[in-house]
Structure 1
Amino acid sequence: MKIRHLVIVSSLSLASIPVYAGFADTMRDLRNTLNQFNETSKEVSNTAKEWTGSRATTNSSYAANGFSMGQQLRPKINNLPLYQTADKSSQVINKLSKNADIIFAGNMTKTGLIEVTTEHGNGWIESHLVQ
């Protein structure tokens, strides 16, 4: 009788080995999928940090000059030239009076020209000539 029980128990344990192997394969696949997900989320996070970092750098240059996008500005002088492009040698669209409404559009060049919107259209003006 004892041998019979031993044969039954050993046959049951041998039959369960493929089940354990299948379970181990499934767990290994799950672990690999989770690792891939973790790596992808890290890449997305780093990309987001790079993007917001470059954006923060750009905005800080505006803050350093005291302008924020959409801010209303006023010319310090009469006949302030409104340039067509971000170059002082470009065509002057119009000359703005001291009471002209000017809205900062958010772009600025290294030479100090800022992009603005006025009643005469979009253009570029010298940042040190507005307040």
Structure 2
Amino acid sequence: MKTSLFGLICVSLIIAPTFSHAGFADSLRDLRSSISQISGATKEASDLTKEVTGLTGSGSGQASGSSAASGQVLYPKINNVKLYQSANKGSSVVTKLSKGSEMVYSGNSSGAFHQVTTEHGDGWVEASLVQ
């Protein structure tokens, strides 16, 4: 009886590490697969970013910041963008523009402001709030 119990303990000591190594190998395979999927998704996102940047840079009709060209149509990024009478926040507000409002860029910029023409008249908008 002692011999068979000893044999059973020895067999279990030999087999148990084999199962744990197999589980570890499976975990490594799963991890490699996940890393490959993440890498592929990152590459796709990078390609998409390059594609979108290329479209924006090739005259898609919208611009942001100082890359706007005279005559280009701009849109507010958010609702209630203020159209100022002059190029500073202290000047009077002509109107507040909704997100869908069209603005035609005049080609003039003053610091952080663009001069635009809207259906409500001419004025200045903060360049960081238009696209």
| TM-score range for the pair, normalised by the shorter chain length | 0.3 to 0.5
TM-score by length of 1: 0.47
Higher CA-based Rg: 1
